[in-house]
A = this chain, B = another copy of it.
């Protein structure tokens, strides 16, 4: 659970399917701790059984794009977004996240791992594609004692083929508190969203297309 709107919606879907949900977040050198604060608020508002935060130490990998201070691109249109893998890409991030989720799922005897990846509106990330999720699903089945014994967690990616507008419509029906979610890659010091990074652009267009008011406070 990142604090953004996709994982919040994925959580609400799991809940609506009858799961008791344990939220899992990672502290991995994000630019803004505000994301984790948002994740905690959303988890509580949506009725998480528990919210675990795992520290991932990528400092041992040295000066890399993982933790480097790169400028966040602004004012790109959707064709620019989808043409390249963006600089905000973090190597193997979803694989690392899903691996920890797999361990936690086994420890908590969970039946599902819900991940809010989305291929349509963010095709730039390789580890958000359906073929990636399918491949990890095979790993999950083979990697663990629970999987071998047939009681492993299924990897569920309920948003994978939805547009941002469809995600927001579904989440709004399920009562996702979007006012608590944070999407911006580059918020100002007072917490306002920049309104111009890829994530803000997609969020704004999504709310607009869904005909739902975006509760976010934007600088621009």
Contacts and interface: CB of A to CB of B under 8 A. Distances in A.
Given A94-B143, A138-B138, A139-B132, A57 B54 contact: yes
B95 A102 contact: yes
Interface string A80-118: 000001000111111110111011101100000000000
Nearest to A130: B142
Instruction: Pick from A58, A64, A89, A143 the residue with the most CB of B within 10 Å.
Output: A143
B132 A143 contact: yes
A173 to B, nearest CB: 32
Contact of A66 (B90, B107, B142): B107
Contacts of A144: 91-92, 126-127
Contacts of A147: 126
B57 A52 contact: no
Q: Secondary structure at chain A's binding surface: helix, strand, loop or mixed?
A: helix
Give the oligomeric copy count. 2
Interface residues of A, number: 47
A55 interface: yes
A127 B143 contact: yes
A41 interface: no
B96 A100 contact: yes
A34 interface: no
B103 A58 contact: yes
B143 A103 contact: no
A204 interface: no
A86 to B, nearest CB: 10
A207 interface: no
Interface of A: 52-58, 60-62, 64-66, 85, 89-96, 98-100, 102-104, 106-107, 126-127, 129, 131-132, 135-136, 138-139, 141-148
Given A129-B142, A136-B143, 8 more contacts: A54-B57, A57-B57, A91-B107, A92-B144, A95-B103, A95-B139, A95-B143, A135-B142
